[in-house]
Chain A
Amino acid sequence: MGAQLRVVRRRIASTKSMAKITRAQELIASSRIVKAQQRVRESGPYARQITRAISALVSHNVGVGHPLLTERPESNRAAVLLITSDRGFAGGYNANVLREAEGLMTMLREQGKEPIAYIVGRKGVGWYRFREREYADAWTGFSDNPRFEHAETIGRALVGEFSKPVEEGGVGEIHIVYTEFVSMLTQTAQVRRLLPLEIEEADELPEEQSQGALPAYDFEPSASAVLDALLPNYIESRIWHMLLQAAASEHAQRRRAMKSATDNANDVIESLTRVANQARQAEITQEISEIVGGANALAETSAGSE
């Protein structure tokens, strides 16, 4: 077998095994998106109820002056939580989050604030390490399958930073950059301000708005105690929601990236097969002409000797 043919065949074989791997990754991601979407749905009732309860409290004017609801202009530090993935192979997923975060940080700096990074996911940590930038804290190992404890840990840490006095390095605001799962085809990096809180109605539930005025609640034991207990839960629920959205987006983007990788590999295999066939044919043609040429030469010499 000729050298060219051997090389091409080897490349076909390696491309084929690569296609197998990316295809498997694609299938895994597809099956996980369904699971991740289901978890987003399952977190819906809790998020809806807690938002309603908080809105009820705020409509009673209980929240006025609550530390988690008031602006802190005296602090010029702003925490930025980046939700990235632990693994790569997800197309532009992490790049988009990091770019969005860079934009936010530039904006904060222009406002005279000092951004402090908090990171979820190994890829974000790697990006910061590589550039030798500082970050305050990082949580890794759960980006594709978060559990509520993770949201709880992150929420507590961030609220802790926010509640600290300014002299001890307390932050004045907290922003989160994450990827919103719009649909299977669209996922967009988003920036949200977590603290001071702006109570937002869950966007996915338009029927909530039509329910009109909230009833006059009694509070047990007291309105401010309920608010104190509820606000951290609400923050955790917001973070939880974002972690789930980010996980679903990660799977969706990985699936797409792996699908185009598989398609590309198949294209490469096709064109390489053509090259291989041509090389094989050229070899055969050459062999035939050598044999014919050899036979002719033999016939001529034997004809000359007679």
Chain B
Amino acid sequence: MAKLHVELVSPEREIWAGEADMVVAKTIEGEMGILPGHAPVLGVMVDGSVVRVHPADGGEVVAAMVSGGFFSVASNEVSVLAEYAELGGEVDVHAAREEYERVSAQDGDEAAAAQRRARARLRAAGQEV
């Protein structure tokens, strides 16, 4: 079966790259799963969402928190371009939890966005929120 070639990049560096069976990303209209052979698509991702990549070698699912950005799919090439991205494994869970609780107590649009990002960070790290 054909594989997806995935690149997860932020402006500062490449976060993850490799072969994958499936990529799940969240657009403004909902979650979207991408399998090999998907039609070309450009989608805007939700600020503060989680992208999951199922590696082709059957390894553990790679989860990353992304804030803003978009993904493009074309001929089994998937590029996820995030303005800011962090792999679940790199998240400092304790700090993220504190941050989440701090911003949850606040009101306003800024705080809501920060809360969404903090929640995505925790979920990327495999934590229940």
Contact = CB atoms under 8 A, between A and B. Distances in A.
Contacts of A46: 9-11, 81
Contacts of A218: 39-42
A214 B75 CA distance: 10
Contacts of B7: 45, 49
A57 interface: yes
B100 interface: no
B94 interface: no
Given A53-B72, A233-B83, A226 B12 contact: no
B42 A53 contact: yes
Contacts of B10: 46, 148
Given A43-B12, A220-B29, A221-B28, A233 B69 contact: yes
Per DSSP, chain B at the interface is strand
Per DSSP, chain A at the interface is helix
A215 B14 contact: no
User: Chain A interface: which size bin?
Assistant: 20 to 34
B29 to A, nearest CB: 5
Interface string B91-120: 000000000000000000000000000000
Nearest to B8: A45
Contacts of B13: 42-43
Nearest to A230: B70
A216 interface: yes
Contacts of B72: 49, 52-53, 56, 217
A42 B40 CA distance: 25
Interface residues of B, number: 27
A215 B40 contact: yes
Given A49-B72, A221-B28, A230-B70, A236 B11 contact: yes
Nearest to A220: B43
Contact of B9 (A45, A57, A152): A45
Interface string A190-229: 0000000000000000000000001111111100011001
Nearest to B10: A46
A226 B43 contact: yes
13 contacts: A39-B12, A46-B9, A56-B42, A147-B12, A151-B11, A152-B83, A217-B40, A217-B41, A220-B43, A221-B27, A225-B28, A233-B70, A240-B11
Interface of A: 39, 42-43, 45-47, 49-50, 52-53, 56-57, 147-148, 151-152, 214-221, 225-226, 229-230, 233, 236-237, 240
